[in-house]
A and B are shown apart, each in its own frame.
Chain A
Amino acid sequence: MPATLTPTRRDEPAFGDGGRGFDDLPGYGGGDNNRPPEPERQPPPEGYRIGVWLVLASVTMLFSALISAYVVNRAHSMPIEMPEVLWLSTIVILTSSVTMEISRRALKRRLENQFRLWISVTTALGAAFLVLQLIAWSELKAAGFYVNKNLHSGYSYLFTGLHGVHLIGGLAALAFVTWRNQAKWTTVRRRVAVDATASYWHFLDGLWVFLFLILFFWK
């Protein structure tokens, strides 16, 4: 058996879509040459993935509560002008989801440079989205819709603001998976972390589209 093949295979368990579950993943934590081999069963690298799904559950509850409040307050029926720049920011965040997906797949095919390129593009688009949201705020303000103008404008600031705060968390996760010292984790763990970040990013993308629709197109 060629010696070089074994670690590669150990490093490439069948996981992701249609993976075989946790318990039969071979060699979690394997591939780290600095440590002596450990006989003990290591926890699967799925922690990040589970963690992110739980984060998404609680963020969903947070926004469900706020959207329920929005509905109960009948805020949608109050007049407010939509800042035109939100079209642009929507396009930007949708594009960033596509680039995130390109970079995730590049990593899966071990194309390190492509991965870095596209994840940087994603980060830049995320930052651009935040700037556009701030411009939208200033447009709202210029049109006289302050946070206390009516409930609709209050919710507009609140939804965009809270979404932005969560997006900053997403940018931090992107920076983490991009810049973390690669020697400190295994290829498998890194890929799970990137997958988890991608799930979070796509969720924020979808959440924004939903908020955008409910704020300005639900009459």
Chain B
Amino acid sequence: MAEQTQTSHAAPKSFIRKYIFSTDHKVIGIQYFFLALIAALTGMVMSLLIRLRLAWPANRWPMLEAIFPEGFKDGLMQPEFYLAMVTMHGTIMVFMVLTTAPQSGFGNYFLPIQIGARDMAFPVLNMLSFWITFLSFVVLIAALFVVGGAPLGGWTFYPTLSAIPSTGPGQALGADLWIVSIALFCVASLLTALNFITTVLNMRTSGMTLMRMPLSCWGWFTTAVIALLAFPVLLAAGILLLLDRNAGTGFFIPSGLSVSGNLVPNGGGSTLLWQHLFWFFGHPEVYIAILPGMGATSHILATFARKPVFGHKAMVVAMFAIGLLGFFVWGHHMFISGMNPSVAIAFSVLTLVIGVPSAIKTFNWLGTLWGGRIRFTTPMLFAIGFVSLFVAGGVTGLVLGQTALDVVFHDTYFVTGHFHLIMGVAAIFGIFAATYYWFPKMFARMMNEGLGKLHFWLTFVGVYAIFVPFHVLGIAGHPRRYADSTGYEFLRALDPLHVFITIAAFATAAAQLIFLANFFWSLFKGKRATDNPWEATTLEWSTATPVPHENFGEQLPVVHRMPYEYSVPGAERDFLMQND
């Protein structure tokens, strides 16, 4: 274990120690951010390929055949390729983007600064976590190109097909690499979580009580607690699946199974076991993706509404309540698995109870905005967009949490629409809000506001244009994951909707180019940022821009007040810094 350092160390001089194998939490945060950016672009391109197939299943794409000769035989997208894209899109987005950027990226950069520490508790461990995550990403991408085809079991990777390599395309080496990649990711996430929790508990500066921590820190802290308890379970499931595939055990394979007329020799296990283990991790994972966004949103709404967060303590409690309840609702992913109805009722009730802390958060966000002197900057717009998407995706969660309705909607596009709005796009909006908000501190330059607002409006309208029709598809009974719905007469009427969604998806993807252009232009040519451009109150804005090595000068700041003291009566400015 790394020695914790808080005492001054000279800044590393060599390029490799400074930028590649750095133990500085700020460099590691930026490394995570760029890894997530690359992953997000990869995942987005994959989603566009998925949309191509769904809108025009019979069309030939000779240009794409030149890039993917196997996947586009004769220019036609093969169903296996389609399923591989669905699998990899899901895996990359959930793990490499939604888990990586908001938590490990922004959390790494700003958690130590916001609590007034010089670095994470275990800097060497922190560096290891990043490089294991990087390795995990490389292994995942390698799975796309191996003999036997890319994995196509979906990001949930249900056995029994995924437990038996001989069951068809994509179940050979590609599937093994997928599992290895996820196992590595679990280890890296555990190290990160361990580091975050220790840092919060042990490294706060004088006067920084737990309740004085900004809500963004509470988001990262809660997420780390969830990750610490959820990822080991996925790791366990991955180890069992790897043994089933390579050591001839049968933990997930029922007895007497035959594949293509051949009896599978190993067996005696349970297919449903995987679903229990996977979703015990999988549901908390949803909160791992969204809670840092909730924290950042609270932080940003207060800054630009020029008001303290409404119900600060309630926000903290609600966040922890969501995290805790998340461990007891995994069964709602399995309502159609033949579960005992009274067990299903218990899972259903617990699921609906999550609506209570979620509503507390929503009302408190609105309460924060209420009567504020709102500054509509780009980060503020994205934070408000986050609230909008959280509500829009959340209400369908209440629909799906009810057993009777879920039995109908399960495995339709309704579910896809629900989780894309709340877990996908809402979390992405949290990432965008955080990017626009903290860019000045991270890169010492401002992003362009005009381009930022254009990016916001196009993306905001775009994601609703994509995902609201998903719900319509689902209500009409359109199943998920089908590469081809042309064979089903009752789905023919929905073809124009698929075309509409695909066009909206391409337009929204194009809007992200505005973001990229803005990001890289601002990185080099943007207006120089001052130390506190947003007139915010927390410690990251009290230190210099760019942030010096070990974050603060000679002396660590001493905290005297709560994090969001805006519009304080009688104060000289309309805000008081935490260390004023």
Give A residues with C-beta under 8 Å from B.
22, 29, 35, 38-48, 50-51, 54-55, 57-59, 61-66, 68-69, 72-73, 78, 146-148, 150-151, 154, 158, 162, 173, 176, 184-185, 189, 193, 196
Contacts and interface: CB of A to CB of B under 8 A. Distances in A.
Contacts of A184: 3
A58 B229 CA distance: 6
Given A38-B7, A63-B236, 7 more contacts: A42-B6, A47-B4, A47-B203, A55-B194, A69-B277, A147-B248, A154-B247
A165 to B, nearest CB: 11
Contacts of A61: 228-230, 232-233
The 7 closest A-B pairs by CB, nearest first: A148-B248, A65-B236, A62-B232, A61-B232, A154-B249, A65-B233, A47-B4
A73 B137 CA distance: 32
Contacts of B233: 61-62, 64-65
B362 to A, nearest CB: 31
**Most interface-central of B201, B205, B265, B270 (chain A CB within 10 A):** B201
Interface in B215-266: 228-233, 235-237, 239-240, 243, 247-251, 265-266
Contacts of B3: 184-185, 189
A69 B203 contact: no
B141 interface: no
B209 to A, nearest CB: 10
A97 B460 CA distance: 59
Given A43-B6, A58-B231, A151-B250, A66 B240 contact: yes
B273 interface: yes
Given A43-B117, A47-B121, A58-B194, A148 B7 contact: no
Given A59-B232, A62-B233, A73-B270, A50 B197 contact: yes
Interface residues of B, number: 46
B532 interface: no
B556 interface: yes
Contact of A73 (B1, B243, B268): B268
Contacts of A38: 7
B279 interface: no
Contact of B236 (A35, A62, A72, A73): A62
B228 A58 contact: yes
A22 B7 CA distance: 18
A78 B205 CA distance: 56
B4 A40 contact: no
Contacts of B237: 65
A184 B9 CA distance: 13
A22 B202 contact: yes
Contacts of B1: 48, 51, 173, 176, 193, 196
23 contacts: A35-B7, A41-B206, A43-B4, A43-B117, A43-B121, A43-B203, A47-B198, A47-B203, A54-B194, A55-B194, A57-B228, A58-B232, A59-B232, A61-B229, A62-B236, A68-B276, A69-B251, A78-B268, A148-B249, A151-B250, A154-B249, A184-B3, A189-B3
B280 interface: yes
Given A57-B229, A73-B270, A65 B249 contact: no
